[in-house]
């Protein structure tokens, strides 16, 4: 099953996962870009950067198998294996980035919007009682089980 076949299934958890991949890219890029403000925004920049690194392991299950991480971290990441828990994680992370507006508006708002959209996709999957699915393209299902 390819990327287009997964998208055609109309499972919102797949949409949420791909929005999560976009959030990873944005969080890492914007976290690095905004860290040079030398202001209180650095706090949100670091949080955004850490968020991006955390989401890598959350959204790409293959990496939990091939990267040397601690058992405690693996257990923590695996707790977020349902649509509702992932929606909650994304919404909390989005709210944290939205609070950066307390200081002033930066490009971190883009990360907040994408995190919110990913959370909404997972929330819709939960509300529609859709089964939680990992994209096979990103190491869910077939690829992750082949690696010992």
Per-residue pLDDT of the chain in tens (148 residues, 90 and over written 9): 566 666 667 788 888 999 999 999 999 999 999 998 888 899 999 999 999 999 999 988 888 888 888 889 888 988 998 899 999 999 999 999 999 999 888 999 999 999 999 999 999 999 998 888 777 666 665 544 444 4
Structure tokens at 109: 């708002």
Structure tokens at 44: 């949100």
Asked if 131 and 113 count as a contact pair (C-beta separation under 8 A), the reply is: no
The predicted structure's pLDDT at residue 64:
80
Interval 112-148: pLDDT, tens: 999 999 999 999 999 998 888 777 666 665 544 444 4
Structure tokens at 122: 């997972």
The predicted structure's pLDDT at residue 148:
40
The predicted structure's pLDDT at residue 140:
60
Q: Determine whether 5 is exposed, middle or buried from the number of CB atoms within 10 Å of its CB (0-12, 13-18, 19+).
A: exposed
Distances, alpha carbon 141 to alpha carbons 17, 74, 132, 145, in Å: 14, 17, 12, 7
The predicted structure's pLDDT at residue 7:
65
The predicted structure's pLDDT at residue 120:
96
Phi and psi dihedrals of 69, rounded to 5?
Answer: -120, 160
d(CA 21, CA 130): 20
């Amino acid at each position: 099953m390819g990327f287009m076949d997964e998208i055609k299934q109309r499972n919102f958890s797949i949409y949420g996962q791909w929005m999560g991949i976009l959030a990873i890219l944005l969080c890492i890029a914007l976290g690095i870009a905004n860290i040079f403000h030398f202001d209180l925004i650095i706090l949100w920049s670091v949080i955004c950067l850490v968020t991006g690194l955390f989401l890598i392991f959350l959204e790409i299950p293959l990496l939990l198998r091939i990267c040397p991480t601690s058992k405690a971290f693996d257990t923590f990441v695996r707790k977020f294996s349902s649509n509702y828990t992932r929606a909650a994680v994304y919404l909390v992370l989005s709210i944290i980035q939205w609070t950066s507006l307390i200081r002033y508006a930066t490009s971190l708002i883009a990360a907040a919007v994408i995190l919110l959209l990913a959370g909404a996709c997972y929330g819709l999957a939960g509300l529609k009682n859709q089964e939680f699915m990992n994209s096979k393209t990103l190491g869910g299902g077939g690829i992750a089980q082949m690696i010992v």
